[in-house]
Amino acid sequence: MSGKLHVTGRVVIVTGGSTDTGDFSAIRSDDVVIGVDGGAVRLWEAGVRIDLAVGDFDTAGEDFLHRLCESGVPTRRLPAEKDMTDTQYAVEQALLHDPQEILVLGALGGTRFDHTWANVSLLERIADRGSVGIIQNRWNRLRLLKGAGSLILPRDRYAFCSLLPVSKEVTGVTLSGFRYPLKEATLKRGDTWGISNEWQADRAVIVIRSGVLLVAESQDGSAV
């Protein structure tokens, strides 16, 4: 079964990595929600509306797929052998509708680091298409700055903010509102001195002039 998405602002994609029910509190009533294979199972069990379920459903299984179809949930079954991950397919479907933002839940954790890294890499694909991409769980929130731009980060549940260059270098890095400020600095890929900054004010600002920068807000597990 195929279904047409009606996107007005934000798409939330729930994929098959580690999630808990607290993660789903980020889903708003006006979001369009896409469940990816095992992520669709978690949404179903949590009683969260699913607007589209995609994947090869090797994790969810045939019985669950049948249950979705019987309940009228639009589904798109993908072949097991394909040229992209189920999560990338979900992102591509979301991008067809030019959403302002794509929030991905369940993209971190689990036993497969390759899948985690592939999911994080999708943030650049989202940015290239003009949308804001966020990957989030209770311990981490990841966003990407690409090219000249800025990001305002209010102080909230995350205690630390780390800057990880994705491109060979990121220039013109200026930080305000942090414990460790910077002005017109250059961060190079492989350097770790952008790790574990902390908020000094109620909001912090990151500005870059060029490059691709992964911004990771995080907290220790003991703080949860």
Residues 105-118 pLDDT 10s: 999 977 789 989 99
pLDDT at 2 over 70: no
Amino acid at 41: V
Q: Topology of domain 144-223, per CATH?
A: Rossmann fold (3.40.50)
Whole-number percent of the chain with pLDDT over 70:
95
The mean pLDDT of the chain is 92
pLDDT on residue 8: 61
Edge-to-edge, what's the strand order for the sheet holding 149-154? 149-154, 203-208, 169-176, 182-188
For range 183-197, the mean pLDDT = 95
- Per residue in 61-100, pLDDT (tens digit) is 889 989 999 999 999 999 888 889 999 999 999 999 899 9
Q: Annotate 26-82 with three-state secondary structure.
A: HCCCCCEEEEECHHHHHHHHHCCCCCEEEECCCCCCHHHHHHHHHCCCCEEECCCCC
Portions of the chain given CATH number 3.40.50.10240: 10-138, 144-223
- Pair type for strands 169-176 and 52-55: unpaired
pLDDT at 181 over 80: yes
What pairing do the DSSP bridges indicate for beta strands 149-154 and 203-208? antiparallel
Note the pLDDT of residue 4. 56
**pLDDT band at residue 17 under the 50/70/90 scheme:** confident
Q: Is 176 left (phi over 0), alpha (psi -120 to 50) or beta?
A: beta
| 61 compared with 132, residue with greater pLDDT | 132
Question: Does the pLDDT of residue 1 top 50, yes or no?
Answer: no
pLDDT surpassing 80 at residue 12: yes
Contact in structure between 151 and 215 (CB atoms under 8 Å): yes
Q: Which CATH number among 3.40.50.10240, 3.90.320.10, 3.10.20.600, 2.60.40.420 corresponds to the domain 10-138?
A: 3.40.50.10240
Q: What's the rounded Cα separation, in Å, for the pair 224 and 113? A: 23
